[in-house]
Structure 1
């Protein structure tokens, strides 16, 4: 698992980079000075506002910027926040800010099944929780699964792609089938994913990119052949999954981001690797819980 920035301690994260086709492990220039996750604040116990600590990237030579993470990640119990230095173009079906948006932050929040009974409006619940934590402008993602994230970055041909994913399949489905209609014991899980490419993309290219990322995520899941119902076929995701795709705001955006493009190729590879690692971690946890 990619180590996340703690609220204290000395992290020593490493990032797997694919540089011009060569896999190398490099110390990630990800964590240097501790600072507040500006401009918002996270409310602590008793609604006492306090900063969400994280480790940020120092200034770097422009030639090295592709090897600098596009976003920093900070975490505390029940929360995982990815923060960009400046607003990015983002596209998702997040329930609080769906569609094309500009935002600096994407926030995961962990919920209990009891937080969302049938009579509670999930969108209103999420908006209120984000606002209370000083994250009202963030793209919000919810899960009742564990916030164990996997992160991957690939650099090739002057383009960088990144993926941050949390994965749980306790309520998994196979497309075209609905296992939740069966009387199966379950604890809701979700696959939530943030993807980012360093190249500005047009609206059409962002749509193409989110489609490609979803395809890559599904392929990675299918590779494991995990069946929730024996003999029903491998699951393809859950009914509460969300993908967020982002890129810089810029002039002359790329018009295409499909599988015939460099952007599409490295985005797909990044999502595949991150999702496969997340899937292995989840299956390992299920095995440990059953033993």
Structure 2
């Protein structure tokens, strides 16, 4: 039996996604970004009070990861309740992909603009996505996979129908994506490939479902921020 990918484990304030083995992970996460080897990807739930203005965030993140025993993981930060994660595993032909997303839209943005914020409110969410790919990729293909995941995230957010004064929401100000895969020879992961389709489907579904849950939970913000 083929083992599942990207197995989630809740340990609040942590959400841990186990990769099953050491894989090459590409991300722009606040902890261990870039291309690194890791056996897990983790989310650390936090509140505004955890990150005062004068705090050195990188030092805080490193200390938290160390205390929790996640020094060799890739670490993301979120103000979204980590118990509200979404997970999907997809297969297209021989391509297998799993995605986990936590979705908050309180600090939503429209690409090419910046919305003034009052950061004192405990209302800001973000979108954090982990993706595990079964087949081995070149570095270039893994970068392309990241671009496909980003496109799927954006399509799902636009589909949620939120609007700001400048136009439809396309993401949040602090989104993060991490892509895990074995090192290998697969050189392409674009929209014309089975792998690209599988990545897009997994990420789109997790973000779309997570956005729907968040919207249902936040009727006051929907009225006051998005005019819905």
CA RMSD of aligned residues (A): 1.9
- The alpha-carbon deviation at position 207 of structure 1 amounts to 0.5
Q: Which residue of 2 aligns with 1:75?
A: 10
Counterpart Cα distance in 2 of 1:184 and 1:142: 16
Q: State how 1:43-82 maps to structure 2 within 5 Å.
A: 60=1, 65=2, 68-82=3-17
| Structure 1 residue runs of 4 or more that deviate by more than 2 Å after TM superposition | 181-188, 287-291
Q: Compare relative contact order (CA 8 Å, sep 6+) and give the higher one, 1 or 2.
A: 2
- The alpha-carbon deviation at position 274 of structure 1 amounts to 1.2
Q: TM-score, normalised by structure 2?
A: 0.91
More helix as a share of residues: 2
Matched, 1:154 2:86: no
List gaps (5 residues or longer) in structure 1.
1-59
Q: Which residue of 2 aligns with 1:18?
A: none
Counterpart Cα distance in 1 of 2:220 and 2:106: 15
1:35-59 CA distances to partner (integer Å, 9 max, x unpaired)? xxxxxxxxxxxxxxxxxxxxxxxxx
Q: State how 1:1-291 maps to structure 2 within 5 Å.
A: 60=1, 65=2, 68-147=3-82, 148-179=84-115, 181-182=116-117, 186=121, 187-227=123-163, 229=164, 231-250=165-184, 253-287=185-219
- The alpha-carbon deviation at position 275 of structure 1 amounts to 1.0
Q: TM-score, normalised by structure 1?
A: 0.72
List gaps (5 residues or longer) in structure 2.
224-228
- The alpha-carbon deviation at position 156 of structure 1 amounts to 2.1
